[in-house]
Structure 1
Amino acid sequence: MSQTLTLRRPDDMHLHLRDGAMLEGVLPETARHFARAIVMPNLVPPVVTAAEAAAYRDRILAALPEGQTFEPLMTLYLTEATAPSDVAAAAASGLVRAVKLYPAGATTNSQSGVRDFDKVRGVLETMAGIGLPLCVHGEVTDPAVDIFDREAVFIDRVLDPIRRATPGLKVVMEHITTKEGVAYARSGGADLGATITTHHLIINRNHILVGGIRPHYYCLPVAKREVHRLALREAATSGEVRFFLGTDSAPHADPLKENACGCAGCFTATNTMPILAHVFEEDGALDRLEAFTSLNGAAFYGLKPNPGHLTLAKTAEAARWPAKIDTGAGPVTVFDPGFPVRWHVRD
């Protein structure tokens, strides 16, 4: 007999959908299981105004296949030229749910991000006043700092000073990857949350490098040592309200991943929920999966839990999903956890 688990329909609180043919190809993979998602604004050019966010939302909804329901929760890309009044107006419209801070050069399409954090203090103070969350890609870009240390250094040099200088600012530490990130998230109050990805619960840096370079495991922030992966597993399965799912599912066409300077990102939209059920069962925490995927993130963003439900079933047969998603922008490889997963999303 199969074992079943029914959850509130989940939310993905950190998602890349891209645009154009790629958007059309990957959106159905998210909308099949997730009711809502915080959509990242790092397009080319980036989404920096409410009008651009509205136009992007329209393109997302236009790409949604008939019969699927999905609500994109829009964000703005923070630049040094962003005006506090523009952010306040975008939030007041109800369209924009957060602002994303990319340190310039930290990750994909982050060239327009922030170099001088003093230049965005006015925006951050306005956001604190209106309760609009700041989503943070937490890595320094100082070339003197080792790539495996950039998250921990960012917390000390940038994030903690920002939060101390801006009381009341709601902050989401996106895709934390270290035990230091877990500890810092726990040190804050109700105005500090942290997303954890599917792939960072599965892989450490050995998976990327041992036995050959595996480009489809390369992501930013890069996976760290095993001690950090275990800290993330403990945090995700703890049930604590400050931790919630943000897949950071990030599609790139295979030719852009499999070359001499491959793009960063793991595409996990297709199989996140079965993989998470495997992880939470393995850690004796299936009763906390709903909090991580469906309740905690909604509560942080001031949203009601989704009214619909999703049922997972465990059977003797391993789950199967396509190795690649074919899109008009090229094939996208689906994340491979490297072990059999016996949980399935029931149609």
Structure 2
Amino acid sequence: MSELIIRKPDDWHLHLRDGQMLASVIAHSSENFARAIIMPNLVPPVVTTDQATAYQRRIKACIPSEHQFEPLMTLYLTEGTDPNDVEAGAKSGLIKALKLYPAGATTNSESGVQNFENVLPVLERMAQIKLPLLVHGEVTSADVDIFDREAVFIERVLDPIRKKVPGLRVIMEHVTTSDGVDYVSSGGDDIAATITTHHLIINRNSYLAGGIRPHYYCLPVAKREKHRLALRSAATSGNSNFFLGTDSAPHTNGAKIATCGCAGIYTSINTLNCLAHIFEDDKALDKLEAFTSINGPSFYRLPLNDEKVRFTKSSTPINFPKSFSVQNDHVTVFDPGFELYWQHEPINAEEV
């Protein structure tokens, strides 16, 4: 197969940051995706509907005029979150989900939840109005090995929450283990998971073997090869419980290459090209549309995109920039470690 037409993809987990960084990265997402779930872990975090309204306004002001892109807003769940504000934001159509960060789990998660009992009233209201909860699925206890944090989170936090709040719709974001894949696969209609592009490609050898490679460092960290293969199998299966969430996270090189470097991999610019390569490798190009364009909106109960894109396979590799300038520094673009030949372009309805 050298050509493929699918509905325009969405990104169900995206970091855009704010200010100059937002202005520098937005075009990569707005060109490639129709919609994206926007992460709320700014400084300070987006915790109220009014703050989400203001943030969405700032995002829209940076979208190039020739792009049609809808930022889907979320709230950062804290132990002080007001259930009435959550419901009002959801009913207005602005708030599409709440994000649960265990305190200290990742970038700008200091305001996250420490005592999960304190957020049960919000979760119960969310279950009533069918508003999804997005979870960064890791515990942060010092006694838990970083490679075990996801499995322990499922056992100690996620499963107990789902049993206490039946009907709560949960998306386990950036799942990284076979444990997570198995849990979501057997969890029923109220749970799904996003999978990142980079976790389909890298394992822990990628950033630890032969020298530390900070541009492959992310949270949750990439795990053993057996886990990467489980993610590949889930993504390319067509299973409606799994869909794309890039977790594309821009940091300047100065913040990445440091004594205590930031976690995050920037993939917005070449994600779709990488995915076409992966799905072709796994003889699953016919499942690419489900993963990128159908399963996500179906779980969020949103309409599918009408726009279409055409993928074509070039005879020569596509050249992407290795980095781009921002804030008197550079952001490094994810290097998948192999040549990319699949390119994509929007098409008119009459062409289909």
TM over 0.5: yes
- The answer for the alignment partner of 2:349 in structure 1 is none
Residue 42 of structure 2 aligns with which residue?
Answer: 43
Q: Report the Cα offset of residue 307 of structure 1.
A: 1.0
- Determine the structure 1 residue equivalent to 2:139: 140
Partner Cα separation in structure 2 for residue 123 and residue 98 of structure 1: 12
Equivalent residue letter for 2:125? T
Distance 1:56 1:329, change over 3 A: farther
Matched-pair contact (CA < 8 Å) for 1:26–1:325: no
Aligned mates of 2:76, 2:293 — CA distance in 1 = 25
- 1:229 is matched with which residue? 228
The structure 1 segments of at least 4 consecutive aligned residues displaced by more than 2 Å after TM superposition are 327-330
Provide, for residues 157-197 of structure 1, a one-character-per-residue CA deviation record: whole Å limited to 9, x for no partner: 00000001100000000000000000000111111000000
How many Å separate the matches in 2 of 1:152 and 1:173?
A: 12
Once the two structures are TM-superposed, the CA of residue 346 in structure 1 deviates from its matched residue by 3.1
Deviates most, 330-339 or 155-164: 330-339
- Report deviation, 1:111: 0.1
Which fold has the larger relative contact order, with Cα–Cα distance below 8 Å and residues 6 or more apart in sequence?
A: 1
**Residue correspondence of structure 1 range 29-108 to structure 2 within 5 A:** 29-108=28-107
In the alignment, what sits opposite 1:175? 174
1:328 Cα shift?
Answer: 3.5
Q: Which amino acid in the other structure matches residue 72 of structure 1?
A: P
Matching residue of 1:206: 205
Name the SS of the counterpart of 1:304 in structure 2. coil
Q: Is the 8 A contact 1:24 1:327 kept in 2?
A: no
Deviations 1:290-325 (A, max 9, x none): 000000000000111111111111121011111012
CA RMSD across the alignment: 0.9
**d(CA) in 1 for partners of 2:22 and 2:3?**
32
d(CA) in 2 for partners of 1:214, 1:309: 37
Task: Please tell me whether residue 273 in structure 1 is matched to residue 250 in structure 2.
Answer: no
Are 1:259 and 2:252 an aligned pair?
A: no
> How far apart, CA to CA, are the structure 2 residues paired with 1:341 and 1:82?
44
> TM-score w.r.t. structure 2 length?
0.97
SS in 2 for 1:306: coil
2:256 alignment partner AA? K
Equivalences for residues 191-202 of structure 1 within 5 A: 191-202=190-201
How far is the alpha carbon of 1:250 from its aligned partner? Answer: 0.3
Counterparts of 1:200 and 1:13, CA distance in 2: 15
SS at match of 2:11: strand
- Partner amino acid, structure 2, of 1:218: Y
Output the CA distance in 2 between the equivalents of 1:346 and 1:323: 21
8 Å contact 1:33–1:310 — kept in the other structure?
no
**Match in the other structure for 2:350:** none
- Quote the residue 1:344 is aligned against: 343
- The equivalent residue for 2:20 is 21
Amino acid in the other structure paired with 1:232: L
CA distance in structure 1 between the partners assigned to 2:70 and 2:224 by the alignment? 35
1:46 Cα deviation from its structure 2 partner: 0.2
Distance 1:47 1:242 in 2: 27
Q: CA deviation at 1:3?
A: 1.3
Aligned-pair CA distance for 1:327: 2.2
The corresponding residue for 1:10 is 9
Matched residue type, 1:182: V
In structure 1, the residue corresponding to 2:98 is in which secondary structure? Answer: strand
- Deviation at residue 329 of structure 1 after TM alignment: 6.0
Distance 2:185 2:218 in 1: 24
Cα deviations by residue, 1:252-295 (Å, 9 ceiling, x for unpaired): 01100011111000000000001000000000100000000000
How many residues are aligned here?
346
Instruction: Report percent identity of matched pairs.
Output: 62
Cα offset, 1:330, TM superposition? 2.9
Structure 1 position 138, deviation (Å): 0.2
Q: Which runs of 5+ in 2 are unaligned?
A: 347-352
Shift of 1:7: 1.0
Unaligned 5+ segments in structure 1 are: none
Contact 1:12 1:38 in 2 (8 A): yes
Alpha-carbon separation, structure 2, partners of 1:190 and 1:326 = 43
One-letter amino acid of the counterpart of residue 214, structure 1: R
Letter in structure 1 aligned against 2:175: I
Distance 1:42 1:310 in 2: 31
1-side partners of 2:23 and 2:308: how far apart? 25
